[in-house]
Amino acid sequence: MQNKQFRRALISVFNKDGLESVLKKLNESGCQFISTGGTEKFIKELGYEVTPVETLTGYPSILGGRVKTLHPAVFGGILGRTEEAEDRQEMATYKIDSIDLVIVDLYPFEETVKSGAKDAEIIEKIDIGGISLIRAAAKNYKSVLVVSHKSQYKTVETIIERKENTIATRQRFAKEAFMTSSHYDTQIWQYFGGNLAETLTLSIDNKKELRYGENPHQKGFFYGDINDIFEIYGGKELSYNNLLDVDAALNLINEFQETAVAILKHNNACGVAIRSSLVEAWKDALAGDPVSAFGGIVITNRTIDFETAKEIDKLFYEVLIAPGFEKEALELLQKKSKRILMRQKETNVSAWQYRSVLNGALVQEKDLTTNNTSQWEVATNSKPTNKELDDLYFANILAKHTKSNTIVLAKNKQLIGSGTGQTSRVDALRQAIAKTHAFGFDTHGSVMASDAFFPFADSVEIASEAGITAVIQPGGSIKDKDSIDFCNNNNISMIMTGMRHFKH
């Protein structure tokens, strides 16, 4: 593959870290420099000759620096097809010399948004000239190498050293340039209020390869920066399945204001409790299913104290998440180095969910509404007691965050049994009752939550036999009356929320 020597390079970068070594190698190879503003000054201070872009264009930088490179003398030099005789003739007529290397590092728009800057400052960080230079150079990759990000500087050094400026290299860099351009534009679109309800436009350039996907024979990647949401204290690398569970745990715990602990396995809660103290919340969450808790994800909405840490440390878990750790607690928990400790930061996450399906994608708003009690209706003659209402409120949250079909049984703000991911609601209920009894709980006086309506009265009949005294469900079945009549005849109260919470 034939190497193309660099004759003239246009260099206009915001971040100059790592640029010095590239300039040194280019200068040694006889490349001429054209530059703008701060980059021009940087090159001069290194002792290299540089042509100001104003010399080419005949215009100074105007409009507060908004217009510098937007001129035929610049873009003609980049877009001229040196292999085309007509282009060469036109360039000669207008005294335009070709440019065969473009190095641009764009204004940091995304970082400026994240910094909380005011709108005026953010708008000025929308790069116009730079993005145009990148697109022009990428379009003309047959003649021009485009370097569109500071992360490529080291690679460019190698290309210069090894004389590998081939058309294959330039085409690869052009592809990366259009990715840079696309990501940059997507961030601007999102800042202006663009969302997935309008078009599926998503760009996350922070990719991390995972050990594998759901199973060892599958490749897996995480796109995003987990450090934006958590501070991580040691432990092994988070896996694909860990990340799914962490996401499910975070969505669940954010529902609670009172002191709560949840333990999750395969995206489902196997233990949850609300208590006045954290250590009691932990003990009662664990009691809900101590078998499934082994190797699970533990999350709480309170700072973990030393007393609670001593109890949690007795269990083998994969990940422990909390808004904070007391010093002694952290020191104790870190002694088991493979376990992942995560401090949750104050952050906003996307209000949209998306997944690939068939030859496209499904996109939906997240299910962010849970207990809108103003829409609740007591469908039965008897009303739930205040204690039952508290448990129904609690159980309905858990049903929302458990795989469908699901039934959740709760008592005294504690998960005592759940049926998850079943193909029938009756099977889910029987599973929940069986688990409740297996771990020594009494279902008498407990409440039941269903993520969707009861198509028949069989579920409330089974609930009655188990001693369940209150039920919460969305309603909406053509046979709702059958379930209501049974509850009326058996002294069971029932609330209909009017809101289904499928989780497939």
Residues recognised as catalytic: 139, 266
What tokens does 359 get? 């030859």
Beta strands at 32-35 and 51-52: parallel, antiparallel or unpaired: parallel
Q: How far apart are CA 255 and CA 248, in angstroms?
A: 12
The secondary structure of residue 150, as a DSSP letter, is G
Listing DSSP states for 439-492 in one string gives: TT---TT-EEEESS--SSTHHHHHHHHTT--EEEE----TTHHHHHHHHHHTT-
Burial of 70 (0-12, 13-18, 19+ CB in 10 A): middle
- Is the sign of the CA dihedral 158, 160, 166, 167 positive or negative? positive
What tokens does 123 get? 């708008």
Q: How far apart are CA 73 and CA 86, in angstroms?
A: 17
Kindly give, in sequence order, each residue whose CB lies less than 8 Å from that of residue 92, ignoring residues fewer than 6 positions away: none
Alpha-carbon Rg for the chain in angstroms: 31
Could you give the count of Cα atoms lying within 13 Å of 212 in the half-sphere of its Cβ?
5
Contact 435, 408 (CB under 8 A): no
What tokens does 399 get? 């049903």
Q: Which residue has the tokens 């906003």?
A: 348
Q: How far apart are CA 472 and CA 391, in angstroms?
A: 10
Contact 108, 122 (CB under 8 A): no
For residue 356, what is the enclosing H or E element? strand 352-357
Phi, psi at residue 113, to the nearest 5°? -60, -45
The secondary structure of residue 33, as a DSSP letter, is E
Q: List the one residue out of 494, 498, 433 whose CA is nearest residue 469.
A: 494
C-alpha 73 chain-centroid distance: 43
What tokens does 298 get? 């533990």
Contact 428, 394 (CB under 8 A): no
Amino acid present at 61: S
Strand order from edge to edge, sheet including 340-344: 230-233, 340-344, 317-322, 296-300, 260-265, 268-274
Q: Would you call 232 helix, strand, or coil by DSSP?
A: strand
Beta strands at 51-52 and 101-105: parallel, antiparallel or unpaired: unpaired
Q: List the one residue out of 214, 237, 265, 211 whose CA is nearest residue 342.
A: 237
